[in-house]
Structure 1
Amino acid sequence: KWAETVPYTLRNPLYHWTHLELQRYFDVHEILNGDSAQRIYEECSAKLQTPEYSVRNILRKMNVKVVCTTDDPIDNLEHHQKVKNDGFEVKILPAFRPDKAMNVDDSAAFNGYLSKLEASSNTSIASFTDYLDALKSRHDFFATMGCSVSDHGLEHVYAEDYTDAEIAAAFAKIRSGKELTREENLKFKSAVLQIFAVWDWEKGSVQQYHLGALRNNNSRMMGQLGADTGWDSIGDFSQGKAIAKFLDRLDTNNQLAKTILYNLNPADNELMATMIGNFNDGSTAGKVQWGSGWWFLDQKDGMIKQINALSNMGLLSRFVGMLTDSRSFLSFPRHEYFRRIVCNLFGDEIEVGELPND
């Protein structure tokens, strides 16, 4: 069915990615469609049966040096340890993704998560202090496994004012099975997000914030297939004030780690391009970064707009570069896609004399 659909994806990045993957991995240069599907399937399937096409050899073929996975704090990282023990030369490192650990939208779900956190941290969680101790032990464990980056997928940054007493009371309330008010919810998330950021700063880690997704919009399909199965869109959340307040609070205490911000709504491009300049204090070149076009913006037009906004309002020369979260071992041609776009931009401006030809 996918092969029959491909011809309809003209001008969608899926058309380019599909054929780049066939070409770069399998040396298949035929257009994929309903007529060619069986031939291409048989050729690719035969190659996948050979040792050359093991996952590890695919990574070697694409000259991969490091792969970072996205992992929940309760994950035991056993597979990372096995890969390390095997002596595989490509580093496979975890990233600390605590979204579920701070999601207090539903008390039953949160308390269910805490039970798993208790098991993974081998501790009992009765208070907010216990909760933080358990998460800190996981954060420390991740660091021993080579983790040097955290990743947060949020509608927007949380940066409400709060007191320690308010957060302790909110935790006790939800731990008892009661639901938090909206104000309590936002304050709790603000407190925990701040604490996570300080832990990253203490370890010299990088913190990433992917902002602006409006998730699980189709309740009927979510009921049939579950969360994160394709029913998400770009959200129109307000971002600027909260980001500024969050980063400033950390910077004021000299606790701002290296940071990468990603926006999903292209309307926030110029906001992000200018926001990062507020906190690049010279201590580290490119300390606060605006990441490349993410998710729905991970395509030609989205990449060009991101690169142009960053060039006009910041320093492209300090840009962290391409990132893809496709979670596929065949997705590395997307980096080629990005490089081609960058080279075209520079080449066009060199040809008209806007950049030196050196």
Structure 2
Amino acid sequence: MQRIFSGVQPTGNLHLGNYLGAIRNWVRLQDQYECIFCMVDQHAITVWQDPKELTRNTREVAAGMIAAGIDPAKNVLFNQSTVPAHAQLAWVFNCVARMGWLNRMTQFKEKAGKHKENASVGLFAYPNLMSADILIYKATHVPVGEDQKQHLELARDTAQKFNNDYGVDFFPLPEPLIFGAATRVMSLRDGAKKMSKSDESDYSRINMTDDADTIALKVRKAKTDLFPMPHSVEGLEERPEASNLLGIYAALSDRDKTEVIHHFAERQFSEFKAELVDLAVSVLGPINAEMKRLMADPSHIDAVLRQGAERANAIAEPILKDVYDIVGFLRP
């Protein structure tokens, strides 16, 4: 069976964009692929994290993934730092990948901004760790959003260069899995910005931990415009907030966006928002309740992650051994 690797940073506030753009798709893949899902806590510390919050957030992300339907018995679910081979292979890749490749990574430029001289080395080099995350399991496919395609291309380039440098056919070139609808869920306050856990306004996103009343309040306050609901997709690019809400409704209801537009054509936004609230609560409410139940028993979450780490190490360690042999590291 083909193997998938995917990860999410445990930096708190799992939100609707994470669910629709990633986690829901992972749930649907678990019967088609061998799946390895990871809380990438080593990526998280490329920027400062409060240690206690990082611990809590790691459990919360794990709880969110399980509550959303990822079966830890069927899949490998763990946190990255419990499998040393990720960092060990990343060092090898630091010596394979080229500085010019990393200098082209747009996400580093966005995160570091004008102060890149003060950014951590980890933030600059973390695409190599991402490559290691994927290739330490010889993953064949990686579910990615549009903003991660560049990093997957780097992983493919690194795998190819390693194979060429050492004259081996060792690492596969992982293929992207890109999903169409709602891969980019936008902010409820600004339809031109991606929904983000780092946005200062909590009203910009629907968190997976939000209860029904909070979801209702955020949807009612979501930015719209002065025009009625559209009757076709024409002109929607000039109405980003309307387009975003319609896209969210379509994704939550598993319907085509055009079908949703026709259903609500010329109706008032207030009426549409009321139905969107009911839909969002019906989908996210059970997830929220299960997350709370899981978070009340952190020892259970820790046991699940410990078992996942054992399974991940069992896959990763022989691959790392082969890499070390190929590179020529003496292992007395």
| Larger RCO, structures 1/2 (Cα 8 Å, 6+ apart) | 2
Same fold, judged at TM 0.5 (above): no
Q: Greater share of helix residues, 1 or 2?
A: 2
Larger Rg: 1
TM range (shorter): under 0.3
What is the TM-score normalised by the length of structure 2? 0.27
How high is the TM-score relative to the length of structure 1? 0.25
